[in-house]
Amino acid sequence: MFELPTNKEYLIGPASLAILSTILMLFGLGPHLDFDRNAIADGEIWRILSGQFTHSNWYHLMLNLLGILFIWLLHAEYTTLRKYWLNVLFLGLFTGLMILLFSLNIVVYTGLSGLLHGLIVWGALEDIKRKLTTGYLLFIGVWAKVCWEQYAGASTDVAKLIDSRVAIEAHLFGAVGGVVLAVIYLFYKTKKPA
């Protein structure tokens, strides 16, 4: 029987991420926090990370909140509150830096989708470490989606819904970040004294 991961330790991380993103939207803080290449060049380097938590509109936020919920259902038991936020901050920073360095066509970026792709990939690899077949399916599924987007482009329906370009590059960078995160944990575990 499937049990929801309702332990407080599993709930606080995803709930706090959802609340943070909602508050930023509610108070219209996007213009001050969005990833904005020009503002970053002018010294507002916090936007590399903070833009991951802002959204173009309420539909965009709702899609990302559903992503948070989905990941919580799949992989909540793999993290503590501290580990959850370390993962979120690492993946948000990784995605933002990759966009800054390698996607010069992106001037403004908002949303959690890049780091959410990273969380899904990292969770799938955790499943695989535990010999769960679903981990392989999820890992392959996410990479198939990311590769398809790189080939065919973003969904025009989603772009209309969120009133913004879908940054498929962020999905790719986030997924790569999820693999990097898993390797970092693996390296840390092997170097940790017994």
pLDDT in the model for residue 133: 95
Query: Which pLDDT score, from 0 to 100, does residue 3 have?
Result: 80
Query: Quick one: which of 75, 48, 74, 58 has its CA closest to 21?
Result: 58
Domain locations in the chain?
A: 8-186
Q: Supply the pLDDT for residue 112.
A: 98
pLDDT of residue 188: 84
pLDDT of residue 189: 81
- The third-level CATH classification (topology) of the domain covering 8-186 is Rhomboid-like fold (1.20.1540)
> In the numeric block, which tokens belong to residue 75?
């992989």
DSSP string, the chain: -------HHHHHHHHHHHHHHHHHHHTT-HHHHSEEHHHHHTT-TTHHHHGGG--SSHHHHHHHHHHHHHHHHHHGGG--HHHHHHHHHHHHHHHHHHHHHH-TT-SEE--SHHHHHHHHHHHHHHHHHTT-HHHHHHHHHHHHHHHHHHHH---HHHHHHHTS---HHHHHHHHHHHHHHHHHHHHHHHHS--
Per-residue pLDDT of the chain (194 residues; tens, 9 = 90+): 568 888 899 999 999 999 999 999 999 999 999 999 999 999 999 999 999 999 999 999 999 999 999 999 999 999 999 999 999 999 999 999 999 999 999 999 999 999 999 999 999 999 999 999 999 999 999 999 999 999 999 999 999 999 998 999 999 999 999 999 999 999 988 776 65
> Is 105 exposed, middle or buried (CB count within 10 Å of its CB: 0-12, 13-18, 19+)?
exposed
Fill in the amino acid letter for 97.
Answer: L
pTM of the model: 0.95
- φ, ψ dihedrals at 6, nearest 5°: -95, 5
User: Who contacts 172 (Cβ-Cβ below 8 Å, separation ≥6)?
Assistant: 117, 146, 149, 150
